[in-house]
Structure 1
Amino acid sequence: MSSLPPSLAKPVDIAPLWLVELVARHIFSGVLKAHPDIFERLNSYRQTRYGFSPTDLPLHFTVVPASRTLTVSRGAPPLADARIEGPLVLLLGLLEGRCDADALFFSRELAVTGDMEAMLALRNALDDSAIDLPRELGALAGPFSPLIAGTARYIRTRALEGRDMTWN
């Protein structure tokens, strides 16, 4: 399974943008707290506007490492210096370092536009970061943390079946 199942995509599609952005920012904040030096390896690319556009959701995520900001938008993709497009599960797999970015790029499952060197710098910055998104989702769920984290791990495992490999 490479794209998000409709049963998971539809709620995100109809959710108010402010709510989607709030959840995304909480997860982003949790990742930054767990990995405070994640952007240190970017050097001159910290000012880069990185765009992430899932092809199976009508959303765009923009991250600016220097200001440690994340914004979410719908509609036309916002301005970005480097953008990657692909199914959400593959974008998240890349974030966690669970997928081979080169293989996905050359198989055309991902499309990268703009500053390729900046995107390579980001990939290198994420390398060995050990980001665990199910854990971050669970942290948002309070007493339901084990249920949410376990469900997210199950979905990740199913979504990345056959693709769960590291870059190196």
Structure 2
Amino acid sequence: MLIRPKLSGAIRAVPLPIAQRVATLLFDQFLTKHPALFDRLGCFETSRFAFIPNELPFAFLICPAKKAIQTYRRGARLTADATIEGPFFLLLALAEGRVDGDALFFSRRLTVTGNMEAVLALRNALDDNNIDLAEDFANAAGPLQSAAKVAIVFLRKHALRAEGLAWN
């Protein structure tokens, strides 16, 4: 499920401010669709969650209390309460609640460190929101929404199949 080397090289060339802007646009679009996403975090709302996709040159820090995402170059020092690291498409599938996070963790496909209670609270919050990233992100494509959704659905299905998983 690794992102192809040529694509990975092209992504590496993306300047950090552009990656930050894209991440912010997608995150804001996501929160518009799921405004109550972080409501269930309770005392963990002030926690900072780092997501590190193995194949990308970027890492992402989500601060629920601020409803903000920060983008860093991979390898930069992040101050997070919990960190989840793994293949990009598995992280997306996990966000949607479409794969068994426990199985991925115990099979060592995902690495989770830090405050496990905060991670469980985030997982419960995600599970409660019926997230469909293909639809959420396709909405940002404007008039190309239908084509974008078809492409995203195809990519995620193909990516998970390559990992021996099925999209639930």
Q: Normalising to structure 2: TM-score of the pair?
A: 0.91
Distance 1:13 1:79 in 2: 22
Amino acid at match of 2:20: E
Stretches of structure 2 lacking an aligned partner (at least 5 in a row): none
Aligned match of 1:150: 150
Aligned match of 1:68: 67
Q: How does 1:32-111 map to 2 (within 5 A)?
A: 32-74=31-73, 75-111=75-111
Residue 133 of structure 1 deviates from its aligned partner by 1.7
The secondary structure found in structure 2 opposite 1:131 is coil
Aligned match of 1:116: 116
- The structure 1 segments of at least 4 consecutive aligned residues displaced by more than 6 Å after TM superposition are none
Distance 1:129 1:5 in 2: 31
> In 1, are the aligned partners of 2:160 and 2:167 still within 8 Å (CA)?
no
Of stretches 32-41 and 70-79 in structure 1, the one that deviates more from structure 2 is 70-79
Aligned match of 1:163: 165
Alignment: residue pair count: 165
Distance 1:13 1:131 in 2: 28
Distance 2:10 2:124 in 1: 33
> In 2, are the aligned partners of 1:98 and 1:163 still within 8 Å (CA)?
no
Do structure 1's residue 132 and structure 2's residue 132 form an aligned pair?
yes
Residue 157 of structure 1 deviates from its aligned partner by 0.8
* Identity score, percent: 44
Residue 71 of structure 1 deviates from its aligned partner by 0.5
Stretches of structure 1 lacking an aligned partner (at least 5 in a row): none
The secondary structure found in structure 2 opposite 1:104 is helix
Distance 2:10 2:119 in 1: 30
Distance 1:115 1:81 in 2: 6
The secondary structure found in structure 1 opposite 2:60 is strand
The secondary structure found in structure 2 opposite 1:113 is strand
Alpha-carbon deviations, 1:125-153, whole Å to 9, x = none? 10132222222322222222222221111
Q: Normalising to structure 1: TM-score of the pair?
A: 0.91
